[in-house]
């Protein structure tokens, strides 16, 4: 058994600063006309 990544502590500090630009850069939605 190998720990590849240790679990992070529960913490909401990061959420306080999580102001993401709302330009859809990451969510995978780039529209087009038809399926």
Partner 1 sequence: MLIKESDYNILITEEQGALLANLITEALIKLDSEHVTLVHRILKEPNKPYFGEEKSTLKVLKNNGFLIDSDFDELAYLKLRFFVARYGNEALGLSILPTLRCNFRCVYCYEDHLNIDMEETVRKRLLRFVDRELPGKREFDVSWFGGEPLLRLDLIEDLSSQFLRLCDKYAVEYKAQITTNGYLLTPSTAKNLAELGVHAAQVTLDGPPEAHDSRRILANGKGTFSQIMDNILASADLFEFRIRVNIDRATAPFAGQLLDFLEPVKEKIILGFYPVSPTPRATGSGIKCLSMSSFADVHREILQEVHERGFRLVKGFALTATVYCGAYQLNTHIVDPRGDLFKCVEDVGHGEDRVGYLTDQGTIEFDYKRMLPWAVWDPFQDPECRKCEVLPVCMGGCLRLLGRPSEERCFLKQTIKERIRFAFHGAA
Subset of residues 1 to 35 that bind partner 1, contact rule: CB under 8 A: 1-10, 12, 14-35
Quote the least distance from Cβ 13 to partner 1, whole Å: 9
d(CA 4, CA 7): 10
Q: How far apart are the first and last CA of the chain?
A: 44
Query: How many residues lie near partner 1 (CB under 8 A)?
Result: 33
Q: DSSP letter for 1, please.
A: -
Q: Which residues form the interface with partner 1 (CB under 8 A)?
A: 1-10, 12, 14-35
């Amino acid at each position: 058994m190998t720990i590849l990544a240790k679990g992070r502590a529960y913490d909401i500090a990061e959420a306080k600063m999580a102001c993401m630009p709302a330009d859809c850069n990451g969510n995978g939605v780039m529209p087009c006309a038809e399926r």
